[in-house]
Amino acid sequence: MGLLLGNAQREAAKEGNASAKDALKNLGRVYLHNRDVCAQEAVYRLTNMHPKECSRKVVFVPVGDNVVKMSLPLRVLKQKAASGNLTTEDMWMPSGVDRYKNRPNDGSFNDMCIVTFASEYRVLSKNEKSANRIKLNNDLGFVLKRTRSQPAVMRYVHFSETKNPELFYQSILQLFMLYRKDVQLKPPGFETYQQFYSGGSVRLADGLLHSVKSVVDLNRSKFEHDADELDTIQNAADNDGVLEDAWCELCPEQELEHLECNQLGRDEEQVLDEQIENIPDLGVSREQVAHLEKRNNIMCRSDGLALLRSLNEPQMCIFYEIRNWCLQKVMGGGSQTHYVFSLQVVQGQVKAI
């Protein structure tokens, strides 16, 4: 990062005409568009490995009136504008909602909501070829049923039924109601989405009329389990905060047993400390106790001989001096402690070892 910022500063100084504000913008642009990566991430990126992987795909379904759309590339927009074919509707890339509205006209897709469609089917890229691909209407490409993996996990915005009732009913109709045009979510004669949800009806592929509420609730139950209870808990947590002693209220007997075990452990430690203080040989502070760690790695004979051959004359003398003391100590002789003092000249200076 320092090299990049330094290069950007030198480039700004070479131009000469750049003001301090422009130079600072260039430095900020370099800083925001570059970052350091660790060695592990660099290896992952160089080998085209996935930094993260999920067992299921996650698909987000937008809801509401002002849905975010992605525009076509600037090159395509310029070509359409030059030919006079650019309109406000043709300047956007097709979204998942557009593909759902242009699903095939058969029984299985007619009774399918957008959540089921996005969960069980994926968009087929232009380079992929499959004999089981399904063509969408209006040349919006192809989709393929997810057979190698499980259905995708769906994500969408949740609105409060009490605080924003109109947005709540609009969102659940968009998610769990079958439609091909937005006007079908609030047909003429219904002023609000809630009225259509409560009193509307829709004809399915079986030719019978079904209430909108039954269709939406059935599709919603497949993807949301205990949604109302979870919303109530979330609202209570947001309003009242998280109870730190909630476990004590749920399981008071286990919490009491846990506290008694902790108290018993503290009492045993106190008794052990008192016994140690009464024994002079064991009454040693923790700061004076050394920690010994046994190393299991043993050097083989060939490596040891090669290491000995690489020693110089002073190092060889010290090695054999310590070796003879160890042999005498094992045989029951030798002094209790053994000190070795050596002088070494390093770059004209004498150092004691």
The one-digit pLDDT tens for each residue of the chain (353 residues) are: 788 778 777 777 766 666 777 777 877 888 778 878 888 888 888 898 877 778 888 889 988 887 778 888 888 888 888 887 777 777 888 888 889 999 988 878 888 899 999 999 988 888 888 888 889 988 888 998 888 778 899 999 888 888 888 999 999 999 999 998 888 898 888 889 999 999 888 888 888 889 999 999 999 888 888 877 887 887 777 777 766 666 666 677 777 777 888 888 777 766 655 555 555 554 445 554 555 565 666 677 788 888 888 888 888 888 888 888 888 888 877 666 777 766 655 455 545 55
DSSP string, 137-202: GGG--EEEE--SSPPPEEE-----TTT-HHHHHHHHHHHHS--SSGGGGS-TT-SSHHHHHHH-EE
Say which residues have a Cβ less than 8 Å from residue 181's Cβ, sequence separation at least 6. 101
End-to-end CA distance of the chain: 43
DSSP string, 37-58: --HHHHHHHHTT--S---SS-E
What single-letter DSSP state applies at residue 231?
Answer: H
pLDDT of the residue at 117: 92
Measured CA to CA in angstroms, residue 81 lies from 77, 110, 264, 318, 321 at distances of 6, 36, 81, 88, 92
Q: What share of the chain is helix, strand, coil (3-state, %, to 5)?
A: 50, 10, 40
**pTM of the entire predicted model:** 0.56
DSSP string, 95-136: -HHHHHHT--SSHHHHT--HHHHHHHEEEEPTT---TT-EEP
Measured CA to CA in angstroms, residue 186 lies from 30, 89, 269, 285 at distances of 50, 22, 72, 80
Contact call for residues 165 and 196 (beta carbons, < 8 A) = no
Helices 20-32, 2-15: inter-axial angle, 10-degree rounding: 150
pLDDT of the residue at 214: 92
SS3 6: helix
Q: What does the alpha-carbon distance between residue 185 and residue 177 come to, in Å, rounded to a whole number?
A: 8
pLDDT of the residue at 350: 47
pLDDT of the residue at 237: 78
Query: Which has the closest alpha carbon to 185: 64, 343, 59?
Result: 64
Helix (H) or strand (E) holding 60: strand 58-60
Q: What does the alpha-carbon distance between residue 29 and residue 42 come to, in Å, rounded to a whole number?
A: 22
Label residue 167 exposed, middle or buried (CB < 10 Å: 0-12, 13-18, 19+). Answer: middle
Q: Which amino acid, 75?
A: R
